[in-house]
Structure 1
Amino acid sequence: MPSAIAEGSQAPLNRLAAPSDRRFGERIRLGVLTEEISPELVDEVVELTGCGERRRRLLPARAVVYFVLALCLFSSSDSAGPPGYRSVLRTLTEKLRHLPGLCVQRLPTSSALTRARQRLGDKPLQALFERRCGTLATTVTPGAFAFGLRLVAWDGTALDVPDTPANAAEFGFTGKGGVNQSGHPQVRLMALTECGTHALVDAAFDAVARFSEHKLARRLLASLRPDMLLLADRNFAGYQLWGLARATGAHLAWRIKKNLVFVPLRVLSDGSYLSIMRTPAENIRHGQARAAGRTLTEPPRGHLVRIIEYTVTIHPQAGPPRTETFRLVTSLLDHRLAPAHQLARAYHQRWEIENGFAELKNRLRPS
């Protein structure tokens, strides 16, 4: 939890009596929050997006940006439900309000905070995310690199959003009868995450009913780089998306479903084999040939890939061990540079994105 530290005698709120009578946020420092997101950066995005105040206000744009960030930071601090606006602001400025020479008169009202948030809008927060997202791992970060490549993963999850008419119209409801179990509109969040640090490299969201993970993944392609190894679960493998992701220069290692047919072209010494991820038209042609009992002699058209098969044994605390077969498709074709057992170990890092979603949904957000 961030602790607030005032610089000099500047007051954190216009309602705090202090000799300089400064507004909230002019020289506010909030421990880890302002260490990670400096006031100078906030001022930059506010100016860039044209959301700065045109006249002197009790709640300047910089202060409102930090207030909105605090709404996320303290969203689960009240076990009975999300805390109110004034409760969050009180927590945010608690240390400041107890400094010598600062006398608390009153906090801004909830309606004043609502209007300030509406004036700010979402553009400064989007610009702030674009400046702060990205990779953080160094070469000594555990689980961050394999084969000289930075391990990243992408996946999607669904999030409830406030049940307002605007959200219902924009995102809609899911589930039976158009309403999910929680009764809230939902968005699908698609994230690209650095495995070693859980840092968000990029993210996109939209309505669950209208946008699949495959559609949203296309919005993240621009953030892939040639020094990355992208990990993904078995819902993503497909000729078109594979080609788009590989065209960025990034290498890929994705899990594939058991019913997908990959005919070995060449079996390698580590047990993996080279094959072709066929085009949709080739899949139809080969399927028709199999049904007719014909054998096609010419090689299929598609992406040259490498297939790795291995088993994972789970030892639960209660019950017998369970074994599951995994199949990976990868663009790392040289088994000498990327042996099968090392690729299987690297793919295990994909679960870090699930841990990142757990941090977001179960810890930062109220249950």
Structure 2
Amino acid sequence: MPLHSLLDDTFTAADELNSVNKFKSFLDPEILEQAFEYSGVATVRRRRLPLDAVMWSVIGMSLFRNEPVWDIASKLDISLPGKNKLVAPSALVQARQRLGDEAVGRVFHMMAERTFQQEAFEQWCGLNLLAVDGVMFRAQDTQDNLTEFGCERNNHGDVVYPQIRMCSLMETSSHMLLASEFDSRQVGEMTLAQRLLSSVPDNSLTLFDKGYYSLGLLHKWRQKGEQTHWMLPARKDLQYSIKHQLNENDAIVVLKSTPQARNKFEDLPEMIEARLTSYQLDGKTYRVLSSMTDTLRYPYDDVVDVYTQRWEIEVGFREMKQGLHQAKLTLRSKKPEMVRQELWGLLLAYNLVRLVMLDAVKHTPDVAPTRLSFSLCMRQVVTFFISATIRSASKLPEHYEYLLETLRMLELPNKRPDRSYPRVVKGLPRKYPKKKNASQLN
């Protein structure tokens, strides 16, 4: 159900509702209750900072990245009435500890699953386009985080900031996150990708980076459900035999698995059929490997064009780091459980903004949700959340409709087809500044 309908149903009366009640239209109370019970944190005691208010404080840590953590609850006005209008910092710390990280992660997954079931996303050849990729986050330099997440070491053997590795599953036409898994930096992306299998929907095509080439993983992905296809760039040293040559640039091939892979994946057969497609772009030949062996349903021209959508997940990660977190590289929390809670809150905040952007373009089919400026839309959504604390509940649907009208005006200009973004390797940092020549000294 769209947010606008929920607002209409929720706020038909009662101007006395506080901000927690107003925000319930964005996070379904049923989802919150199920998540609290599932994680074992539900309680009948009514505190000044109830669990649903703490949930909004965790989300607010990403929406209000420049604000102190203890001030977010006061800014959103989500605490129940008490002697003092402001929330004590210690009260919020204790409230976050009561909530934990499992409940926030459960809310994220339940909300993402419901959104995917209710929204009509753009499809390719009858399939939803998904993408999988990994990203790293940096945690506070504390001994607990260092022990839990691990870190890299520089050339002198000195440790640097603890790092968390995340792997996410994203719907490319809307940038909505469907699932995410994260762990210490020692856990590889392949392992995290396997944990995403339970969230893969039927009738979907998942686009991988070439680093995810594993016949065991790809076979499990294809067997996960009905028409759960995959695609990734073919390695230069790919070993295969041609079963059927479709044309000079397209063939059905047979890939042979290794004994080591079959020991790791029990149901992995010795041979797997796949489709190897090659094409030329700017005089350079590219090859993609996929599970879409039905050439009638998935024509060559369509298969050649679709892999460019994989870069949408890179844009999504940039929106999270550059937009929500405003290029602040290090997370706030100093304890591992709170780090995980903060990351789940970041993903929830990102999906909430994306959900509002979906609502904004729902009745304008000519505008895709990814063509709206995420950073500008995020600022408007944050402003709406702040002003919701001082608006009457009965007027909130009207203000929400005005928010959607504002977002529709934030459309980005058309992409330049001739613009190039070549990948470059960053140079190593230098201990001393670069020496200037004589002409630069004058």
Which bracket does the TM-score occupy, shorter chain normalised? 0.7 to 0.9
Asked if residue 238 in structure 1 is aligned to residue 207 in structure 2, the reply is no
Report the AA paired with residue 116 of structure 2.
L
Match of 1:222? 198
Match of 2:53? 63
- Structure-2 change in CA distance of 1:148 and 1:188 (3 Å): same
Match of 1:89? 73
The number of residue pairs the alignment matches comes to 305
* Cα distance in structure 2, aligned partners of 1:334 and 1:51: 49
Pairing 1:1-367 to 2, within 5 Å after superposition: 7-11=14-18, 25=20, 28-30=21-23, 34-53=24-43, 55-75=45-65, 78=66, 83-93=67-77, 105-134=84-113, 136=116, 141=121, 144-176=122-154, 183-209=160-186, 211-249=187-225, 250-269=228-247, 271-281=249-259, 301-313=270-282, 324-367=284-327
Contact map agreement 1:147 1:337 (CA 8 A) in 2: yes
Contact map agreement 2:231 2:290 (CA 8 A) in 1: yes
- Structure-2 change in CA distance of 1:215 and 1:40 (3 Å): closer
* Cα distance in structure 1, aligned partners of 2:198 and 2:30: 27
Question: How far 1:53 sits from its partner (Å)?
Answer: 4.1
* Cα distance in structure 2, aligned partners of 1:282 and 1:86: 51
Report the AA paired with residue 198 of structure 1.
H
Contact map agreement 1:136 1:197 (CA 8 A) in 2: no
Determine which structure has more spread, i.e. the larger CA radius of gyration: 1
Contact map agreement 2:74 2:87 (CA 8 A) in 1: no
Question: How far 1:113 sits from its partner (Å)?
Answer: 0.9
Structure 2 counterpart SS, 1:307:
strand
Contact map agreement 1:270 1:335 (CA 8 A) in 2: no
Contact map agreement 2:48 2:82 (CA 8 A) in 1: no
Question: How far 1:344 sits from its partner (Å)?
Answer: 1.8
Spell out, residue by residue over 1:242-267, the C-alpha distance to the aligned partner (whole angstroms, 9 max, x if none). 21211213112111222223333322
Question: How far 1:332 sits from its partner (Å)?
Answer: 1.1
* Cα distance in structure 2, aligned partners of 1:137 and 1:361: 27
* Cα distance in structure 2, aligned partners of 1:179 and 1:227: 48
The TM-score with structure 2 as length reference comes to: 0.62
Spell out, residue by residue over 1:275-332, the C-alpha distance to the aligned partner (whole angstroms, 9 max, x if none). 111112599xxxxxxxxxxxxxxxx95111110111333xxxxxxxxx5432111111
* Cα distance in structure 2, aligned partners of 1:245 and 1:344: 21
Report the AA paired with residue 128 of structure 1.
V
* Cα distance in structure 1, aligned partners of 2:194 and 2:138: 23
* Cα distance in structure 2, aligned partners of 1:282 and 1:131: 36
Contact map agreement 1:256 1:327 (CA 8 A) in 2: yes
Structure showing the higher helix proportion among its residues: 2
Structure 1 counterpart SS, 2:198:
helix
Report the AA paired with residue 258 of structure 1.
K
- Structure-2 change in CA distance of 1:140 and 1:243 (3 Å): closer
Structure 2 counterpart SS, 1:202:
strand
Contact map agreement 2:71 2:87 (CA 8 A) in 1: no
Report the AA paired with residue 127 of structure 2.
L
Spell out, residue by residue over 1:216-258, the C-alpha distance to the aligned partner (whole angstroms, 9 max, x if none). 1111112223311111111112222221211213112111222
Structure 2 counterpart SS, 1:203:
strand
Q: CA RMSD in A?
A: 3.1
Structure 2 counterpart SS, 1:268:
strand
Range moving further from structure 2, 263-272 or 195-204? 263-272
Spell out, residue by residue over 1:101-152, the C-alpha distance to the aligned partner (whole angstroms, 9 max, x if none). x9995311112211111122112212212211236388964xx322211111
Spell out, residue by residue over 1:140-180, the C-alpha distance to the aligned partner (whole angstroms, 9 max, x if none). 64xx3222111111111111123333221110112426667
- Relative contact order (alpha carbons < 8 A, sep ≥ 6): 1 or 2 greater? 2
* Cα distance in structure 1, aligned partners of 2:39 and 2:260: 48
* Cα distance in structure 1, aligned partners of 2:119 and 2:42: 40
Question: How far 1:191 sits from its partner (Å)?
Answer: 0.7
Q: What is the aligned-residue identity percentage?
A: 29
* Cα distance in structure 2, aligned partners of 1:123 and 1:219: 16
Contact map agreement 1:153 1:231 (CA 8 A) in 2: yes
Contact map agreement 1:139 1:145 (CA 8 A) in 2: no
Runs of 5+ consecutive residues of structure 2 not aligned to the other structure? 1-10, 262-268, 328-442
* Cα distance in structure 2, aligned partners of 1:106 and 1:64: 16
